[in-house]
Amino acid sequence: MVLVIAGVILWPSFQLYVLFPKQEKALKARLSKAATFEDSQAVRMEINEFNQRKGALYEKRIVHLGLDLVGGMHVVLDVDRSQLSEEDARRAPDLALEVIRNRIDQFGVFEPTIQKTDRGRILVQLPGVDRERALNIIKQPAHLTFHLVEEKAKVYDALKTVDERLQAKAGVKPTVDSTVTQPLDSTEKEAAPGTLLSFLRSEGDELDLLIYAKDTAAFRTLLEQGREFWPQGYEFAFGPVETVDNDRVVRIYLLKSEPELIGTRLRRAEPAIYQGAELERANTWVVNFELDREGAAKFATVTGRNVGRRLAIVLDGVVRSAPRIQERIPNGRGQITMYDRRGDKAKDLSIVLNSGALPAPVVVVEERSIGASLGADAIRRGLIAAAVGALVVVLFMLLYYGIGGLLADFALVVNIFLLLAVLAALRATLTLPGLAGIALTIGMAVDANVLVFERIREELRAGKTPMAAVDTGYDRALVTIIDANATTIITALALYFIGSGPVRGFAITLGVGLVINVLTAVFLTRFIFDWFLAQFEVKTLRI
């Protein structure tokens, strides 16, 4: 009866981990063999349906595999509340949790765990995801602002001024004669080393000054040193790393410090393929956005007043794009261009924009990521180790106790079966240490039966009949079995208390394993023993 229930409980897990991988393989094989387009479409439909069934199974009570087995990431985030008012700081973790949950939901992960832990920290567990992408999505603050952009010549002049002032301050004569206007885009390498101008990639491009991506850090440091000499009311800003003529470069912008439009919550952002005229952007992905009504009205005013100028779309201080305003934009629609050929970045940026801004930056205070192949490797070797261990135990018991050993072995198999069923019913997660816990339970599981059999042997030696010996053996051993297992369960509870993911998994398998163990050893084997002795009217018992 119990076994049937256990079987029913375990059926979804069996489907998921044993049947499905096989079907998946078969489907993939058929897809690669499909001769015509129609054939392959048909198989694709089947695969879709299959994936849906698989997704539905995840919702059921199955034995969940931990991150250390399937691969994935476990991060604990802390919200940096140092810049917030007391009131905001109190609400920040909940807000951040909400934003992160939204983003992850859109990212599309099976079974994410997103929850608040002690001290306002946020725990995120994502099975089988790409670490870098996931971190970007989680950590991106998403402050979107729009700033007017100065033209290239002005940027050059501003940089030159900063250079000159910096050198004057350091007591070095300006190397560039400031009375002579330097022609832009000349192949000047006359700029003295160690100046901002010396970093510029000589050609630049039509719109912006460029520097090599590798120089960014040095350039920024130097620029920061001269912050007091920046033009009043303006800020320098940078674009993302992009490839121009096979060089990795970064654009330099001079923006009006005061944004034209801020904090306007977007109504919608979605990735799309670039449709415009610029050849180098053909086939790249962009993000189209739409502002809400209030935002659209402001956007219309700003664009109407500044036709012909460039407007930078700045996300978290990085200039995403700076298109020239061709005409007044009344509908609040705009486009962020990307340098993304695969579409991942555009998709991720849309997710971040759609889910709103984090109330404050989040930092990773703890992280554990396991690569998928390490997980697969761990499972395979863990299972082999457990199987070999179990096999040796089973053989040893058979050899040592004969028919009794057979009984104990049967109890052992039932045991593991029930243990897995209980884990599925509890929706517990099986981790690598958990797998070790099961293996260890196998080793210790026979203990109860060993205790019983040793007692029966004693009673037989004392000259009792098999029936009586079995009876007394079980009765005598029962107290010991309970005492012995109770203490181990106490330690399992203590382990559960330490409770960082994998160890908790171990505690659960160990604890549940022991309880089931006592039950099967005491009741199941006794029941079979009694039935066996009565059935065959055994006169002499050898165990």
- Contacts with another protein in 50-69 (CB under 8 A)? 68
Q: Report the DSSP pairing between strands 72-79 and 310-315.
A: unpaired
- Please, what is the minimum distance in Å from the beta carbon of residue 111 to another protein? 20
Return the range that interacts with another protein (CB under 8 A); candidates 226-234, 261-269, 272-280, 396-404: 396-404
Report yes or no: 334 and 313 within 8 Å, Cβ to Cβ.
yes
**468 contributes a contact to another protein by CB under 8 A:** no
**Residues 497, 523, 527, 531: which binds another protein (CB under 8 A)?**
497
Q: What residue has token string 């620029």? A: 223
The CB density around residue 250, as the number of other CB atoms within 10 Å, is 24
β-strand pairing of 234-238 with 247-256: antiparallel
CB of 340 to another protein, least distance (A): 18
Structure tokens belonging to residue 480: 């010991």
Residue of 114, 416, 424, 510 that binds another protein (CB under 8 A): 510
Interface with another protein, residue 114, by CB under 8 A: no
What residues between 124 and 163 interact with another protein by CB under 8 A?
Answer: 131-132, 135, 139
Candidates 113, 454, 519, 533; binder of another protein (CB under 8 A) is 454
Q: Name which position in 369, 415, 517, 520 contacts another protein (CB under 8 A).
A: 369
Q: Please, what's the largest Cα pairwise distance for the chain? A: 119
- Region near another protein per CB under 8 A, out of 83-91, 306-314, 400-408, 530-538: 400-408
Q: Which is nearer to another protein, 430 or 507 (CB)?
A: 507
Tell me the closest approach of the beta carbon of residue 65 to another protein, in angstroms.
15
368 lines the binding site for another protein (CB under 8 A): yes
Q: Which of 49, 88, 366, 475 binds another protein (CB under 8 A)?
A: 366
Which is closer to another protein, CB of 335 or CB of 480?
A: 480
SS (H, E, C) 240-298: CCEEECCEEEEEEEEEECCCCEECCCEEEEEEEECCCCCHHHCCCEEEEEEECHHHHHH
Q: Are 126 and 72 in contact (CB under 8 A)?
A: yes
Contact 512, 421 (CB under 8 A): no
Cβ(459)–Cβ(518) below 8 Å = no
As to burial, measured by CB atoms within 10 angstroms (0-12 exposed, 13-18 middle, 19+ buried), residue 282 is: exposed
Site for another protein in 237-256 (CB under 8 A): none
Instruction: Please tell me the count of residues contacting another protein according to CB under 8 A.
Output: 77
Q: How far is the CB of 444 from another protein (least distance, A)?
A: 6
The residue (of 159 and 444) whose beta carbon lies closer to another protein is 444
How far apart are CB 394 and another protein at their closest, in Å?
Answer: 10
Q: 487 in helix, strand or coil? A: helix
**Cα gap 65→433, rounded to integer Å:** 12
Q: Map tokens 């099967």 to a residue.
A: 520
Query: In whole angstroms, how close is the CB of 502 to another protein at the nearest point?
Result: 7
**Residue 182 or 480 with smaller CB distance to another protein:** 480
Stretch that binds another protein, among 6-14, 17-25, 285-293, 439-447 (CB under 8 A): 439-447
DSSP string, 491-524: HHHHHHHH--HHHHHHHHHHHHHHHHHHHIIIII
Binding residues among 402-431 for another protein as defined by CB under 8 A? 402
SS3 content of the chain, % helix, strand, coil (to 5): 55, 15, 25
Our CB check for another protein shows the closer of 162 and 470 to be 470
The pattern of x and - marking residues 322 through 361 that bind another protein according to CB under 8 A reads: ----------------------------------------
Q: Which of 9, 196, 442, 469 binds another protein (CB under 8 A)?
A: 442
Specify whether the CB–CB gap between 130 and 108 falls below 8 A: no
> Which amino acid type is present at position 191?
A
Stretch that binds another protein, among 225-233, 342-350, 385-393, 464-472 (CB under 8 A): 385-393
H-run or E-run covering 116: strand 113-116
Residue 542 beta carbon to another protein: minimum distance, rounded to whole angstroms: 10
β-pair partners for 247: 244
Tokens representing residue 322 in the block: 């700076």
- Which of these ranges, 98-106, 223-231, 348-356, 447-455, lies near another protein under the rule CB under 8 A? 447-455
Q: Judged by CB, which is closer to another protein: 140, or 369?
A: 369
The residue to which tokens 């096999």 are assigned: 391
Return d(Cα 186, Cα 208) in angstroms, integer.
14
Q: Say whether residue 480 binds another protein (CB under 8 A).
A: yes
Q: Given candidates 290, 344, 458, 530, which one binds another protein under the rule CB under 8 A?
A: 458
Residue 483 binds another protein, judged by CB under 8 A: yes
Nearest approach, Cβ of residue 341 and another protein (Å): 17
Q: Using CB under 8 A, which of 178, 443, 527, 531 touches another protein?
A: 443
* CB proximity list for 218: less than 8 A, separation 6 or greater: 199
